[in-house]
Structure 1
Amino acid sequence: MAENKVLTIGILAHVDAGKTSLTECLLHQAGATKALGSVDKGSAITDALAMEKSRGISIKASSVNFLWKGTTFQLVDTPGHLDFAAEVDRSLSILDGVILVVSAKEGVQAHTLNLWESLKERKLPVIIFFNKIDRDGVELEQVFSDFQKELDAKLFAINLPKITHEQVELIPMAEAKGFDSYILEQSLENLAECDEAFMEAYLGGQTDDLQRIQHLATPYIKNQMLQTAIFGSAKLGIGIEALLQELEQKVPEARQSYEKISARVFKVEYHDKLGRLSYLKSYGATIKTKDSIYSQQLEREIKVNQIFKAEASGLEQVTELQTGEIGLVTTSEAIQAGDVLGTSKIADGFTPISHAVLGVEVKPLEDKDYQKLGEALEILHMEDPVLDFRWFKEEREFHIKILGPIQTEVLKDSLQERWGIAAEFLQPQVIYKETPTKAAEGYVRYWMPKPCWAIMTFLIEPAPAGSGVEFENTVRTSDVSNKYINEVKRAIPWTLKQGIHGYEVTDIKITLLAGEEHTVHSNPGDFLLATPMGVMRALENAGTDLLEPMYAFEIKAHQELLGAISGDLNQMHAQIESPLFEGEYFSMKGRVAVAEAMDYSIQFNATTSGKGRLKLTLDGYEKTSFSEEKTRAYKGVSPLNESQWILHMRGAFKADDRMMS
């Protein structure tokens, strides 16, 4: 273990709540920086990219270390825009605790809800920092109340705001005796609901000893029955000391630890001088320079060449990483963000904040940049695997998946700034899926030209909605050896990347009913080659239904806008629940097809003048009818064209070199 207590703390928020400014305050308060970095001036340490400086937003997660009172903090500043939620997902996987920043001016916003749901699912300790309390027109008691109500949280404030025309003052909870405050009263009530002994004192009015009461709340904060609330202002630098104290005292160290070398890669980026850098957190034995570690994605050993730590002053080269520490490493091979190093199973089967349901084709503006663009997109895919980059060389097409339109703007800027490539991103298209219409069999006999031999019969069947892909083998090992069955299993995921209508196939059960190998002519590659032919033949025999992605939506806006918003939703053929009314506002839930609501957030903001709240969450898929605009051609060589497929797989030509990757 590291000599000091080591805490990995993430800073999360809706865009423009003040995350990066708070990060700079923490660094400055701890003495890690001499001058306070500024987002507006482009001097923030954690916004290192030129695009982040020019746009004033965080695009990539960034990590920086600092020491405060014997605790090493590894601070991870994350993007606040939903289009970069994949960065947040990967960061969440390595955190010990979280600062959730909420703008006291705007209150709970749509992305705040997304983040809160992920934090609760992961059971991560959370401290709520109500930022920007110095802004004109803030209603702190309302913000505090709304947060509790809308997120079903029980807050315990450790400082209380006192705002006058002249100044903003924060009173520590322990010193707030006699202070008349709804926030104080609500905090005490929340504690009483957790602690029976204190409930009796609370009902009896025995609440003068606030220092003791704050101490009573500590175990309930640690077990997450209560959440710490801190008021402050990153702009004024107030509330920062209290935040550091709470982090140091209430957040436990890493909960996962393994005897062997184990680490999770949560970010990959390219450095001007050092090349490809992989950010990882160690969960096991000490990782040292020149160590060889197993990559679970690559399924082979990689070598650690160099190790660095991200300090406020810049990268510092070290020789090892201990349990709980974050480092940046250069390796012998190109590992991806999301990879797990070592043989331990570091679980992260949590629900992503957002899903990529839009596809975009990318084109170079100049044909001479074609090859260069493909190579650049390969690197961007390595940094962000959610892009799911596919290079169809026969059609000379590049396709990626995106979370939203802001992401395409950033990718376009990135290609220009990093590689000097001018690229065009075509109109985003909804990514549908396919599922078998009925059960059917597919037979494949691959035995010419020799040496080769793989004969199989597959049964495919429709599976329940949301079940994904299931494979079952009923063939005896005397007919097909396990080493060949493993190749069948390996081939199925990329076989189903495109069905007979060009979309990924899901909600399917595949059974290998019969098979035959040859003692002389068979080799593993034969079954890898033959599996797509058999499965696709079965899909062709069964036919497929088209599945379209659906959003669940939550809306909150002023009652006077109910008619206009309802009209918009009806035009989109949305499924709408009855609205609920509270005061001057209404809330409404329902479902709508992604294709209908792709651009609705822009329209919604215009309708509500930016004062309404719209939350869209992917909510499964529903069957829909085929139409010309929804159907797309198969990209690359189809396994249904068996002669070309065999030539392709044998290397006679390569229409899509990336299919097997």
Structure 2
Amino acid sequence: MSTKNVLTIGILAHVDAGKTSLTECLLHAAGATAQAGSVDKGSAITDALALEKSRGISIKASSINFNWKDTQFQLVDTPGHIDFAAEVDRSLSVLDAVILVVSAKEGVQAHTLNLWESLKERNLPVIIFFNKIDRDGVYPEQVFSDFQKELQAPLFALNSPNITEGQYSLTAFEKSVNLAEKPILNQSIENLAEHDEEFLEQYLEENLDDPKDILKQAIPHLKKGNLYPALFGSAKLGIGIEALLKNMELLIPSDQKYYSTPSAKVFKVELHDKMGRLAYIKSYGSTLKTKDSILSQQLEQDIKINQIYKAETTGFSQVNELHTGEIGLITTSEIIQSGDILGNQELDDEFTKISNAVLAVEVKAVEDKNYQKLGEALEILNMEDPILDFKWFKEEKEFHIKILGPIQTEVLKDSLEQRWDIEAEFLPPKVVYKETPSKSAEGYVRYWMPKPCWAIMTFKIEPGPSGSGTQFTNHVRTSDISQKYINEVKRAIPWTLKQGIHGYEVTDIQITLIKGEEHSVHSNPGDFLLATPMGIMRGLENAGTDLLEPMYAFEIKAHQELLGAVSSDLSQMQAQLESPFFDEEYFILKGRVPLAEAMNYPIKFNATTSGKGRLKFKLDGYEKTALTEDKVRAYRGVSPLDESQWILHMRGAFKADERMMT
């Protein structure tokens, strides 16, 4: 049984802030590695993929264990590029705390804002590490002040940087002198005074001679999250790393919520060359052992744990058991997926996601001989990253996936070539719209031939409030349709709505079963499962559907002289603009814009601002848009509106795979 305190810490940041370099420094400072790995040299332990080494960026989240004093740390290094935000979402679900890395040169960037919103929603403890103090043009006081102002986050600096003509050093708060003369430390003291009435009296009386006493009074507020601890340093030069280690152990609460029975969350799945399918899990319950059986909530059956591994700096090491709070990798004969919950506890992650895939691309093999091989490779990539939502339309010989952005497409293309020797072509991305009923209508279905079968139903289809999703109500008496058949109707609704009249998922819809009947002899559950899509789709056809387009909420910060050019660009994109806010020589502009208009704007924005502006996009619901021919998609597979073909298909004549597409 492990006697150490176990903490899972995520390293998060905007791309190129130095996350992976910091991870390597922490491993080295803790004695876990002989020397710190280098991102530039391709020797970083947590960037193990060939693609990560060649591109110099993190693509997959990686977990590594090390010990420091009385704590076992499980570091999760996450990608910084927004195109790989799904990896961040999956990692956030198992973290106990976060080190948010901010470049002291660039300060708060677009993805920093996305990350901060998620951290606040989850109420995770955060330590801010202002990295790269060795860069030219760094103004620590400015980045410290900007962070507080832009994120509304009161900071308490645990050290302060000393920068003079290429010389860099740090002074710990408790060893500082003349605190009032150092803006960063003085602001930290003011923040403490706002949260501690007892200290406020000392502050007003200017009784601040002992920095150790001030720090002692600050620590409870840092642990509670009233103030956010901040440290300066340089991962490149190894400055500030030991101070970070010390404060990770001191400030991060160890009273995590665990259970007395076996329980775990699957947060990542990957295919290993030698060990096969590996599921990364975090244990939230009692000890898990090799050969144990545990319930998979997704599969609704028990699975057997064949092997358990831990990720160490030297590679994967096989162990016999996994203790409470620990992260491990398991193999099992069953096909478990990311997001699965093992055991009987409720561990669902209901928080807002950073990643929302609203772009669809078709993937083609350049050489026809690789068609089957490409399909199999994409199935593996989809297993590793479910946000791809891979669909294989075998009748049309087409592969479709969803993506977050163009960098993800480039990486997928490289991955197919390096891992499977497949040259693939990715067609231009298309926006994934949604549909909603235009008006109220009814859909009638009578499925009673060829016998034995009997399912007669009338559905009322109505538009639902924006953002309401799917609502189903049953008004039919159990004497007309038994509850076991109503259950089949409910089961059929989600996949029925995967494609509407115009080829997109249907949402914001109210479905009411208003009439129906079963037959005492001929009816069976499969009849209602088969008939429900026919009735609902007929109702949608009668009601008609409007297209809903995804909208981005944007926030832009740039120099005032660029306001005219940026506003003109946004107006041409049919953006809804709020009044700009001015902050010294900068403006901040917020609003909403259709994703279809804005998907390529980041490239133009970077050119307009010479890379010095900040543009943050966030999916912000859907709005009705004009229905034009170029937006309509053909129905994939057999449509329930083609009732005779649908019945044959569902009764097994076609023996085809499900071809529903979102």
Which TM-score band (shorter chain)? over 0.9
Instruction: Give the Cα separation in 2 of the matches to 1:102 and 1:343.
Output: 39
Which residue of 1 is the match for residue 638 of structure 2?
Answer: 637
Q: Secondary structure at the match of 1:438?
A: coil
Instruction: Give the Cα separation in 1 of the matches to 2:343 and 2:647.
Output: 36
Q: Is 2:636–2:659's contact at 8 Å kept on the other side of the alignment?
A: no
Which residue of 2 is the match for residue 139 of structure 1?
Answer: 139
Instruction: State the Cα RMSD in Å.
Output: 1.4
Instruction: Verify: 1:96 aligned to 2:83, yes or no.
Output: no
Instruction: Verify: 1:584 aligned to 2:624, yes or no.
Output: no
Task: Deviation per CA, 1:399-438: give whole Å up to 9, x if none.
Answer: 1111101111111111111111111110000111000111
Instruction: Give the Cα separation in 1 of the matches to 2:604 and 2:649.
Output: 47
Task: Deviation per CA, 1:19-76: give whole Å up to 9, x if none.
Answer: 0000000000111111210000001000011100000000000000000001000000
Overall identity of the aligned pairs, in %: 75
The alpha carbon displacement at 1:560 in A equals: 1.3
Task: Deviation per CA, 1:416-474: give whole Å up to 9, x if none.
Answer: 11111111110000111000111112122222222222222212211110111112222
Q: Is 1:354–1:617's contact at 8 Å kept on the other side of the alignment?
A: no
Letter aligned with residue 638 of structure 2: V
Q: Is 1:7–1:254's contact at 8 Å kept on the other side of the alignment?
A: no
Task: Deviation per CA, 1:70-96: give whole Å up to 9, x if none.
Answer: 100000000000001111001000000
Instruction: Give the Cα separation in 1 of the matches to 2:334 and 2:423.
Output: 29
Which residue of 2 is the match for residue 171 of structure 1?
Answer: 171
The correspondence of residues 145-156 of structure 1 with structure 2, limited to 5 A, is: 145-156=145-156
Which residue of 2 is the match for residue 36 of structure 1?
Answer: 36
Instruction: Give the Cα separation in 1 of the matches to 2:8 and 2:255.
Output: 8
The alpha carbon displacement at 1:390 in A equals: 1.1
The correspondence of residues 45-444 of structure 1 with structure 2, limited to 5 A, is: 45-179=45-179, 180-253=181-254, 255-444=256-445
The alpha carbon displacement at 1:189 in A equals: 0.4
Letter aligned with residue 600 of structure 2: D
Q: Is 2:458–2:535's contact at 8 Å kept on the other side of the alignment?
A: yes
Instruction: Give the Cα separation in 2 of the matches to 1:641 and 1:375.
Output: 30
Letter aligned with residue 453 of structure 1: W
The correspondence of residues 460-539 of structure 1 with structure 2, limited to 5 A, is: 460-539=461-540
Instruction: Give the Cα separation in 1 of the matches to 2:166 and 2:543.
Output: 74
The alpha carbon displacement at 1:655 in A equals: 4.5
Letter aligned with residue 52 of structure 2: E
Letter aligned with residue 399 of structure 1: H
Instruction: Give the Cα separation in 2 of the matches to 1:15 and 1:149.
Output: 22
Gaps of 5+ in 2: none
Task: Deviation per CA, 1:262-302: give whole Å up to 9, x if none.
Answer: 21111111111001111011111222112222222222222
Q: Secondary structure at the match of 2:53?
A: helix
Instruction: Give the Cα separation in 1 of the matches to 2:529 and 2:381.
Output: 28
Instruction: Give the Cα separation in 2 of the matches to 1:625 and 1:367.
Output: 38
Instruction: Give the Cα separation in 2 of the matches to 1:517 and 1:417.
Output: 56
The alpha carbon displacement at 1:7 in A equals: 0.1
Q: Is 2:223–2:252's contact at 8 Å kept on the other side of the alignment?
A: yes
Which residue of 1 is the match for residue 548 of structure 2?
Answer: 547
Instruction: Give the Cα separation in 1 of the matches to 2:337 and 2:413.
Output: 21
Letter aligned with residue 409 of structure 2: T
Q: Which segment drifts farther, 87-96 or 481-490? A: 481-490
Q: Secondary structure at the match of 1:629?
A: helix
Displaced runs of 4+ in structure 1, greater than 3 A?
Answer: 654-661
Instruction: Give the Cα separation in 1 of the matches to 2:38 and 2:393.
Output: 43
Q: Secondary structure at the match of 1:475?
A: coil
Q: Secondary structure at the match of 1:120?
A: helix
Q: Which segment drifts farther, 64-73 or 288-297? A: 288-297
Instruction: Give the Cα separation in 1 of the matches to 2:377 and 2:481.
Output: 42
Instruction: Give the Cα separation in 1 of the matches to 2:352 and 2:251.
Output: 26
Instruction: Give the Cα separation in 1 of the matches to 2:409 and 2:301.
Output: 33
Q: Secondary structure at the match of 2:629?
A: coil
Q: Which segment drifts farther, 489-498 or 339-348? A: 339-348
TM-score scaled to structure 1, two decimals? 0.98
The alpha carbon displacement at 1:561 in A equals: 1.1
Q: Is 1:96–1:254's contact at 8 Å kept on the other side of the alignment?
A: no
Q: Is 1:393–1:636's contact at 8 Å kept on the other side of the alignment?
A: no
The alpha carbon displacement at 1:177 in A equals: 2.1
**1:287 to 1:481, Cα distance in 2 relative to 1, 3 A:** farther
Instruction: Give the Cα separation in 1 of the matches to 2:475 and 2:286.
Output: 41
The alpha carbon displacement at 1:660 in A equals: 10
Instruction: Give the Cα separation in 2 of the matches to 1:629 and 1:64.
Output: 48
Letter aligned with residue 224 of structure 2: N
Q: Secondary structure at the match of 2:554?
A: strand
Which residue of 1 is the match for residue 8 of structure 2?
Answer: 8
Q: Is 2:156–2:227's contact at 8 Å kept on the other side of the alignment?
A: yes
Instruction: Give the Cα separation in 2 of the matches to 1:3 and 1:489.
Output: 48
Task: Deviation per CA, 1:515-554: give whole Å up to 9, x if none.
Answer: 3233333332222211111111111111101101111110
Letter aligned with residue 205 of structure 2: G
Letter aligned with residue 641 of structure 1: D
TM-score scaled to structure 2, two decimals? 0.98
**1:495 to 1:583, Cα distance in 2 relative to 1, 3 A:** same
Q: Is 2:499–2:660's contact at 8 Å kept on the other side of the alignment?
A: no
Q: Secondary structure at the match of 2:285?
A: coil
Which residue of 1 is the match for residue 596 of structure 2?
Answer: 595
The alpha carbon displacement at 1:494 in A equals: 1.1
Which residue of 2 is the match for residue 568 of structure 1?
Answer: 569
Q: Is 1:265–1:338's contact at 8 Å kept on the other side of the alignment?
A: yes
**1:96 to 1:195, Cα distance in 2 relative to 1, 3 A:** same
Instruction: Give the Cα separation in 2 of the matches to 1:475 and 1:293.
Output: 39
The alpha carbon displacement at 1:16 in A equals: 0.2
Q: Is 2:356–2:619's contact at 8 Å kept on the other side of the alignment?
A: yes
Q: Which segment drifts farther, 342-351 or 254-263? A: 254-263
Instruction: Give the Cα separation in 2 of the matches to 1:455 and 1:524.
Output: 13
Instruction: Give the Cα separation in 1 of the matches to 2:479 and 2:295.
Output: 32
Task: Deviation per CA, 1:364-400: give whole Å up to 9, x if none.
Answer: 1111211221111111111111111111122111111
Letter aligned with residue 270 of structure 1: L
Counting matched residue pairs gives 661
Letter aligned with residue 560 of structure 1: E
Instruction: Give the Cα separation in 2 of the matches to 1:586 and 1:333.
Output: 54
Q: Is 1:637–1:655's contact at 8 Å kept on the other side of the alignment?
A: no
Q: Is 1:99–1:126's contact at 8 Å kept on the other side of the alignment?
A: yes
Instruction: Give the Cα separation in 2 of the matches to 1:452 and 1:288.
Output: 49
Q: Is 1:2–1:325's contact at 8 Å kept on the other side of the alignment?
A: no
Instruction: Give the Cα separation in 1 of the matches to 2:252 and 2:349.
Output: 20
Letter aligned with residue 455 of structure 1: I
Instruction: Give the Cα separation in 2 of the matches to 1:486 and 1:332.
Output: 30
Which residue of 2 is the match for residue 607 of structure 1?
Answer: 608
**1:523 to 1:260, Cα distance in 2 relative to 1, 3 A:** farther
The alpha carbon displacement at 1:654 in A equals: 4.1
**1:607 to 1:254, Cα distance in 2 relative to 1, 3 A:** farther
Letter aligned with residue 39 of structure 1: V
The alpha carbon displacement at 1:221 in A equals: 1.2
Q: Which segment drifts farther, 509-518 or 573-582? A: 509-518
Which residue of 1 is the match for residue 25 of structure 2?
Answer: 25
The alpha carbon displacement at 1:165 in A equals: 1.4
Which residue of 2 is the match for residue 447 of structure 1?
Answer: 448
Q: Which segment drifts farther, 140-149 or 236-245? A: 236-245
Q: Which segment drifts farther, 384-393 or 480-489? A: 480-489
